[in-house]
Structure 1
Amino acid sequence: MTWKEFVQVARVRAVEETDRDGQIWSDDALRAVTQEVVRKGDVSVDQLLVRRARLLAGRALQPGWGSRLTPPSLPRWLVTTGWIIAFLVGWWLAALGQESEINLLSLPLIGIIVWNLVVVLLSLLPVSKGAAPAWTQKLVSKIDRLPVEADPASTPAGIGLQRFMALTSAAALRRFYLRFRAWFHIGAAILALGSVSGMYARGWSKEYRAVWESTLLNERGAQEFFSLLFTPASAVTGKPIPLDQLPQMHRRADTAAPAPGEALPWIHLYAATLGLLVVVPRALLVLLERFRTTRISDAEINSSDWQAYAHRLRSVVPGAGAGAMVLTHGLAHDASSRNRWRQLAHQQWRDVGEIDYHSVPVGAEADFVATLPSTGARCLLVFNMASVPEEEIQRWLVEALLNRMKNDKSSAVFLSVALDDADLRKRWSGFADGEKRLADKAQSWRAVMQGLNVNWV
């Protein structure tokens, strides 16, 4: 999945999950498009989401519905300006000298190469799959081109924007971080090219002679150093390294060089070395960062949250398998609730067909079981998790249904049981220990049902 496709899928999901009034798509339209995609054949999660988003984008009730839903990014002009500055800095660093002689050891080549080798080695290390560094958030927030809502929570559009940012911001920041690394590598290569251009441009209008002087290197040491530095460039270009001229090119503090050498052969070697040790590695690193960037969308779609979203979408399409009966106890039946219960049934039976919904009257469980038609092998009982589980009511109901299934001689004599926590989660949403309360509540339900031949969904 490309990044553009992921953003479009996230737009659709954000609007779908926050547009309660159906201003963009009605529930029937969402269900129809999902069924259209799923029934065309077995599709992967990313294919399902991309095709569905593409169809929904063309069937929106309001034009321009997703124009404001855009992840943060840097303007192109800022990147281009940075590259131009890098080229100018490289040009400035390549000053060949104030006089007609240039000191080979004073050119910035060595520092540029050492700096680039360190960066290249660090760039080859695995990039953490966690959140992007904090500085990326600060940088993007200063030049973020997203419109700012005065009170995002007060309008449907603002709520949709918040949901979209929750779905994409982490991936967008990580993508920006990797792209920034690629831009940085390109900038380093451009800086090297600027240095090369500067050396040749200055050499065009003025003849330079090459010398060297150093406090640390003697003549033999200089030969060994330049041999090590320029051997790769010499091998690639076929140009020899004039090492035999170095003793005569040695300039001292109080003595001029006996015979300064021609600068052009050394400029050629300098340029080739920058190309081999800076431009080429940086270009390869750009490809590496681009590869890492392309995997961000796939990593997001493969996360548990997006997989669960795809599962919810698939669950609205009846499968080719047998149908199922969903029994609920202490729960009101509405469209959103039935969608949740169908998702639970689909989680249990991936090919589940049509679903028959029944509500077990609280206080009349015995009469309901006595008049219930045959449940078949696929039966899901959903309890309201907010209720207090009692052996005389909920456990008795499960045992009665199990006995009924045995009497019906169903192929599978066990019952699938689920807890609907929608009401309870809403009630405890403001509590810091809400999740712990939910876990404790679920444990109390399992304690009441302990020992029964049921399958917890």
Structure 2
Amino acid sequence: MNEQVARNVVLVRAIETADVGHTVLSDDDRKYATRSARELAAWQAADAHVAANQHHFLQQRAELILKRLGERTPAFGAFYKSAPGLKGIWLALPFLAFVFGAALDRIADPHRVDLLSAPLLGIIGWNLLVYLGLLVWAIVPAARKRKGTPLLQRLSTGKAALPRKLPAPLADGIAHYLASWSAMSEPLTRARLSRTFHLAAAGFALGAVASLYARGLLTQYVTGWESTFLDAQQVHALLSTLFTPAQTVFPFLQGFSLGEIEQLRFGTGTGAALPTVAGGERWVHLYGATLLLLVIVPRLLLATVAGFKARRLKRNFPIDLDQPYYRKLADSVGAGTPAVLRVIPYSYTLDEPRDRGLWAIAAAALGGQARVQLLPAVAYGVEPKDALRDTALNEAGVTVTAVLFSLAATPEKENHGALLDYLAKRVPRGVAVLLDESPLVERGGDQAGLDVRVAERIALWRQFCGFHGVSSHAVNLLQPDKHALELGAGLALPELR
């Protein structure tokens, strides 16, 4: 699916997940959207002479839901129809760079060609450093470990201002969407930003070259150089190295000798050599050709590569359809493969009623066809690497990996925490924690204040799990319907935990 379709799908996902009480989107709204989207997807696929797939279904369903929400809440309709990000910056930066490059001659003397021009040498030197940095980034893996920045988030989502007077679930859903979308669209935004920066660098250099030639049409350049620390021999060596690529590619460019360099030194006293107005076009051509070869052409090539990457990501936006939310929708229309909930109990053996409750929770969270993969319990005090030595934690067919703790136990960093840390580093899709309250409820019986004790224990466990960077969800395996919605919401948005 393309970028716009993916944006709609992610927005609907965030809203449905945030609307736990179904106050913004009722059950009838969701069933109608699912049923209608299934039919529309089939018609769309038939017109295109292809088989209907999950992409078609999700696209139609998202459009139906967004249209209905927009009709009910005009402020939301204006929000989702607006284009995300800051579109104007992609064109404005290269244009402004060209203008600033053309204004370089205002920094130096506009009536002379300085052979040691600081602005022109600065452009070339800076770009060579950039190429070196790009080479290091491509070779050294550690250099590619980057995290999203506020700039990337702003470019992905724009001003990110929430519309006013929205229902609370709708406002929460938009907030979740903005956080999720900025992370998901980061590769596309990076590609666009890279393309823009390369175009801006090429535009800056092109502006400087255009300024050199344009001024030369109306002004007689005075040519020469001056330096406190460099002599003629050093300047000759520097310029020979600098202009060698241009003279190699364009052999018609006129060279220069050491004697000519000595004669072009600006005099500072009586009897010193005077600057010359002859041959200024030679140095303009040398600098123009050098900027073309070392800056403009490489930057345009890099911008082209980044542009191809951006177009590919825009047309085929990467979205993980194996997430529980999408798997559940696919199950509702008979598409895709059944979701798999892999459960790792810790010091906890499930009896038959609790096993049935676990399957019911999986069906509620991941779809009616979901399966449970219950692993042997990890014994208390056993090292995770020993207990899970024979378990393939990166198994491709697993949708969600969850650790099952009994709420009757209290969390311990050296045992429960060690298991969570071990799994968090080795499970690609992340880890969720299921906190079964049924043993604690059974033990408490009819004691007064039991609900308060259960709530306090849940809060303690959630704080502990949050410290270890995993999401936690209270469940009751003997009453699977009690916390089913909370489980579904948490697993549907693992990146927001």
- The offset of 1:207, in angstroms, is 1.7
1:340 aligns with 2:365: yes
Partner in structure 2 of residue 184 of structure 1: 197
Matches within 5 A, 1:421-436: 428=458, 431-433=462-464
1:56 aligns with 2:61: yes
- The offset of 1:115, in angstroms, is 0.8
Partner in structure 2 of residue 252 of structure 1: 267
The counterpart of 2:247, out of the listed 227, 234, 249, is 234
**SS of residue in 2 equivalent to 1:210:** strand
Partner in structure 1 of residue 31 of structure 2: 27
- The offset of 1:136, in angstroms, is 4.2
1:317–1:95: structure 2 CA closer, same or farther, 3 Å change rule?
A: closer
Partner in structure 2 of residue 387 of structure 1: 438
Gaps of 5+ in 2: 47-51, 72-76, 339-351, 374-395, 398-433, 442-453, 479-497
1:318–1:95: structure 2 CA closer, same or farther, 3 Å change rule?
A: closer
Partner in structure 2 of residue 4 of structure 1: 4
Contact 1:12 1:53 in 2 (8 A): no
Partner in structure 1 of residue 162 of structure 2: 148
Alignment identity in percent? 26
Q: What amino acid maps onto 1:301 in structure 2?
A: I
1:135–1:38: structure 2 CA closer, same or farther, 3 Å change rule?
A: same
Matches within 5 A, 1:215-234: 215-234=228-247
- The offset of 1:80, in angstroms, is 4.0
The counterpart of 1:157, out of the listed 157, 170, 192, is 170
- The offset of 1:268, in angstroms, is 1.1
1:15–1:89: structure 2 CA closer, same or farther, 3 Å change rule?
A: same
The counterpart of 1:74, out of the listed 82, 86, 89, is 86
**SS of residue in 2 equivalent to 1:132:** coil
CA distance in 1, matches of 2:250, 2:471: 71
Q: What amino acid maps onto 2:170 in structure 1?
A: A
CA distance in 2, matches of 1:79, 1:16: 33
1:269 aligns with 2:286: yes
1:309 aligns with 2:325: yes
Alpha-carbon displacement from aligned partner over 1:41-93 (angstroms, at most 9, x marks no partner): 9xxxxx945312322245446274665246851241x4544434322321221
1:108 aligns with 2:119: yes
Contact 1:132 1:174 in 2 (8 A): no
Alpha-carbon displacement from aligned partner over 1:92-148 (angstroms, at most 9, x marks no partner): 2135964854321135211110011112322341574653124545x669x943433
Contact 2:102 2:204 in 1 (8 A): yes
1:67–1:441: structure 2 CA closer, same or farther, 3 Å change rule?
A: closer
**SS of residue in 2 equivalent to 1:432:** helix
Gaps of 5+ in 1: 42-46, 352-382, 391-423, 446-457
CA distance in 2, matches of 1:122, 1:135: 20
1:434–1:206: structure 2 CA closer, same or farther, 3 Å change rule?
A: closer
CA distance in 2, matches of 1:318, 1:289: 38
1:201–1:250: structure 2 CA closer, same or farther, 3 Å change rule?
A: same
Alpha-carbon displacement from aligned partner over 1:401-426 (angstroms, at most 9, x marks no partner): xxxxxxxxxxxxxxxxxxxxxxx999
CA distance in 2, matches of 1:425, 1:344: 32
1:278 aligns with 2:295: yes
Matches within 5 A, 1:288-437: 288-290=305-307, 293=310, 300-302=318-320, 306-318=322-334, 338-340=363-365, 342-343=367-368, 345-346=370-371, 385-388=436-439, 428=458, 431-433=462-464
- The offset of 1:204, in angstroms, is 0.5
**SS of residue in 2 equivalent to 1:215:** coil
Q: What amino acid maps onto 1:94 in structure 2?
A: D
1:34–1:426: structure 2 CA closer, same or farther, 3 Å change rule?
A: farther
Q: What amino acid maps onto 2:68 in structure 1?
A: Q
1:99–1:316: structure 2 CA closer, same or farther, 3 Å change rule?
A: closer
Partner in structure 2 of residue 364 of structure 1: none
- The offset of 1:289, in angstroms, is 3.4
**Cα RMSD after superposing both structures:** 4.9
**SS of residue in 1 equivalent to 2:438:** coil
CA distance in 2, matches of 1:426, 1:317: 40
Contact 1:330 1:387 in 2 (8 A): no
CA distance in 1, matches of 2:354, 2:275: 102
CA distance in 1, matches of 2:323, 2:261: 67
1:171 aligns with 2:184: yes
Partner in structure 1 of residue 210 of structure 2: 197
CA distance in 1, matches of 2:336, 2:324: 21
1:33–1:114: structure 2 CA closer, same or farther, 3 Å change rule?
A: same
The counterpart of 1:133, out of the listed 121, 145, 149, is 149
1:249–1:130: structure 2 CA closer, same or farther, 3 Å change rule?
A: closer
Q: What amino acid maps onto 2:370 in structure 1?
A: A
**SS of residue in 2 equivalent to 1:188:** helix
Contact 1:316 1:339 in 2 (8 A): no
Q: What amino acid maps onto 2:3 in structure 1?
A: W
Partner in structure 2 of residue 393 of structure 1: none
**SS of residue in 1 equivalent to 2:223:** strand
1:287–1:121: structure 2 CA closer, same or farther, 3 Å change rule?
A: farther
Q: What amino acid maps onto 1:13 in structure 2?
A: R
Partner in structure 1 of residue 451 of structure 2: none
CA distance in 1, matches of 2:39, 2:456: 30
Contact 1:232 1:273 in 2 (8 A): yes
Contact 1:2 1:294 in 2 (8 A): no
- The offset of 1:243, in angstroms, is 0.9
Q: What amino acid maps onto 1:252 in structure 2?
A: G
